[in-house]
Amino acid sequence: VTRPFCGDCDRTRLTADGQIRSCLFATAETDLRTLLLSGAGDEQIAERWREAMWGKPAGHDIGGTLFERPRRPMSAIGG
């Protein structure tokens, strides 16, 4: 947080309940679970994941005026 490296970050996270988080501090999640349960193929799943990552925020802005706390904090999505 004190030494942000967001500009070089390629982190992505799939939560235990099947939601993609493009950033640990992202306020939006992309539903992958429904797609997985529908029997979608690998390419469809990869495309959904790519789309989610194209929306990756530029950074967390902690300490800035634009920071918005995610509904589910890091501890609720696996750290």
Contact set with ligand SF4 (CB under 6 A): 5-6, 9, 11, 23-25, 59-60
Strand order in the sheet with 19-21: 13-14, 19-21, 30-31
30: which strand partners?
20
In the complex, minimum distance from the CB of residue 48 to ligand SF4, in angstroms, rounded to a whole number: 19
**What single-letter amino acid sits at 73?**
P
In the complex, minimum distance from the CB of residue 46 to ligand SF4, in angstroms, rounded to a whole number: 20
Cα–Cα distance, 38 to 24 (Å, whole number)? 27
In the complex, minimum distance from the CB of residue 54 to ligand SF4, in angstroms, rounded to a whole number: 14
Taking the least distance from each CB to ligand SF4, the nearer of 10 and 42 is 10
